[in-house]
Structure 1
Amino acid sequence: MENKKTLVIGASLKENRYSNIAINRLKSYHINTVAIGLRDGEVNGVKIETEQKLFNDVHTVTLYLNPKRQESYYEYIIKLQPKRVIFNPGTENPEFYKLLREANIDVEIACTLVLLSTNQY
């Protein structure tokens, strides 16, 4: 599996949260992982940033934020120019899909954990 540097947005320090499980799973597949969340901290060696930091070479952004909370990230994500944005269950947002597609960014409505476990990541 090529290294598809992934930015997890909505990262949580709580171990039962899907964003936290996703960080651990991405790391287990040796995928370079960066994260943004409400609280800074660390999950499996991945520092959770609280600012919209301009990471380089982000291939995939995986979202764990409801559509309302995504609005403040629209411009930021488009500026990063990832190859794709994964909308995990509960994050579906047709308004954002349109903006991403206009910026030539692929939209995937899927679950990061399922994509990883079925080798479709």
Structure 2
Amino acid sequence: MTTLILGATTNPTRYASLAAERLVSRGHRIIPVGIKQGKVQGAEILNGLPDVPEVDTVTLYVGPVHQPQYYDWLLRVAPRRIIFNPGTENAELMKLARENDIEVVAGCTLVMLAGGTY
């Protein structure tokens, strides 16, 4: 299963970095996307709106004010679901996702992984 981490960072104290570590440790493939440069768990952080292979899940670590620039791109990526981590909830993007048959999950990737509900 491939998870795109939107808001990826090399800062090990950030939740996006912790999610990358835990996803990889559980055998998930990650595609980190963000504005930072560098690698996360051995994967290069992609910048801009990159072409990506098939994605099952997008986990958001970008706040609502910065999300509109990603709307059309996320719909083109067409994941099965988008996880809106705490602080990333956005009614407009949630509505767009649902209208495009993308499952919307308001939850925490780290908690889901720990509880076996990912």
If the length of structure 2 is used for normalisation, what is the TM-score?
0.97
Q: 1:1-121, aligned counterparts within 5 Å?
A: 4-121=1-118
List structure 1 segments (4+ residues) > 3 angstroms apart after TM superposition: none
Q: Which moved more, 1:107-116 or 1:39-48?
A: 39-48
Question: What displacement does 1:56 show?
Answer: 1.4
Distance 2:84 2:114 in 1: 17
Let me know the Cα RMSD of the aligned residues.
0.7
Please say if residues 32 and 40 of structure 2, whose CA atoms lie closer than 8 Å, have aligned partners that are also in contact.
no
Question: What displacement does 1:51 show?
Answer: 2.1
Which runs of no fewer than 5 residues in structure 1 stay unpaired? Answer: none
Distance 2:48 2:69 in 1: 12
3-state SS in 1 of match to 2:7: strand
Question: What displacement does 1:60 show?
Answer: 0.1
Give the share of equivalent positions with the same residue, in percent.
41
Which runs of no fewer than 5 residues in structure 2 stay unpaired? Answer: none
If the length of structure 1 is used for normalisation, what is the TM-score?
0.95
Question: How many residues align structurally?
Answer: 118
